[in-house]
Amino acid sequence: MIAFGVFLSGFVMSEPAPYELIMAVQIVIWFLFGLAISRTVAVPLALLLLYNVGGMLSLLVMRDIGGGPMYVAVSTFLALTTILYAAVIEERPQRLELIFKAWVAAAIITSILGVLGYFHAFPGAEAFTRYDRAMGAFQDPNVFGPFLIAPILYLLHRLLTGRLEQAPLVVAGLLVLVFGVFLSFSRAAWGLLLFSSVSLIFLMLLKERTAAFRLKILALSLAAVVLLVLALIIALQFDKVADLFTTRARLVQDYDGAHMGRFDRHKIGFLLAMERPLGIGPMELGKMYGEDEHNIWLKSLTTYGWLGFISYVVLIGWTLAAGFRYLLRERPWQPHLMIAWITILGHCLIGNVIDTDHWRHFYLLLGIVWGCIALEQRHQKTKRIPAGPNSAA
């Protein structure tokens, strides 16, 4: 059921999506039947609850609450999914592999839908595009692209560490996913892909000490880069792709730097938030200035108030610091921790230009990292337990 829930996270074309229904039922069932929350997992639980209490308090200052309560309810639900993922991973680390395989399956299917939609491969295929950009079975290309990054890293890790006979299948999956990211024409997703891939290779080179393995990683990485460049060159032969790529490849778009554009709204929003300790309420900045915050730090201030902002900053800082501490330790769950930690760090960087507070896969990543942190804490505790009197010397 956990794997099925993760799989459904790749298909969110309307809200509530099947993912919400399945995961809401699972949260109730798992905890009713005794799923434990350790002291380690209680850390993100407490911080996420404070974060959402801040969101609830922000409703008090809204003149017309409208969809505000539903917005905060979704935020609270997503926070609980983080705790569920962390708890089930701590209970049985073997679930990590199942989670990532389900994520890869969902990513490949939704990426294929996005690619076919972009090229109008069948009647009605445009349902999987928006603004001539692939978005798969999502509502927004800017969510679709980042959703594919963790599965790409998982397959890249498999390619670099797996058997040679598996390479063709893994490479095929990688090409589908990378092409999906490219056709999303999301600058944030492009940057996230580059940052995450380079970071993964760097950490693997840092972790592996043997010259033969390092040579293998460098050789396969170089081959993957050449293959991706060739695929990109082929894609740019299509005029439609080339034209949109030229437009989207500019670092600063008109709606970024123009008067009252994204960056102007960031300045105004931060100044406004300094005067409103409780925030201004969900979606209020968009009503005031025509566009949402497009900055997760600003979003935390305006939608969740000072309490929510502080809780979010502490949560992210604690997650990255604790995860980094255990990042290179030789454990069965180490590859999954490394992939999730890198992807969260990348999401924090793109969070400067995009809102991530309702991205389902971001809460999944948080759950994976905290589940692995809890596993490491339990492992350390087990090592400290002294042997009994009947134990062998």
Q: Is residue 127 part of a domain?
A: yes
pLDDT of the residue at 301: 92
Q: What is the pLDDT of residues 329-342, one digit of tens each?
A: 999 999 999 999 99
Q: Is residue 352 part of a domain?
A: yes
pLDDT of the residue at 249: 58
Low-confidence residues of the chain, pLDDT below 70? 238-240, 243-263, 385-393
Q: What residue numbers bound the domain in which 87 lies?
A: 2-383
pLDDT of the residue at 393: 37
Q: What is the pLDDT of residues 260-310, one digit of tens each?
A: 556 677 778 788 888 889 988 898 887 777 777 888 999 999 999 999 999
Does the pTM surpass 0.85? The reply is: yes
- Say if residues 30 and 79 touch (Cβ distance below 8 Å): no
pLDDT of the residue at 366: 97
Q: Is residue 264 part of a domain?
A: yes
Q: Is residue 242 part of a domain?
A: yes
Q: Is residue 183 part of a domain?
A: yes
Q: Is residue 262 part of a domain?
A: yes
Dihedrals phi, psi of 140, to nearest 5 degrees: -150, 130
The total domain count for the chain is 1
Q: Is residue 391 part of a domain?
A: no
pLDDT of the residue at 233: 78
Q: How many CB atoms lie within 10 A of CB 329?
A: 13
Q: Any idea how long the chain is?
A: 393
- Say if residues 84 and 23 touch (Cβ distance below 8 Å): yes
pLDDT of the residue at 219: 81
Q: Is residue 96 part of a domain?
A: yes
Q: Max Cα separation, the chain?
A: 76
pLDDT of the residue at 261: 56
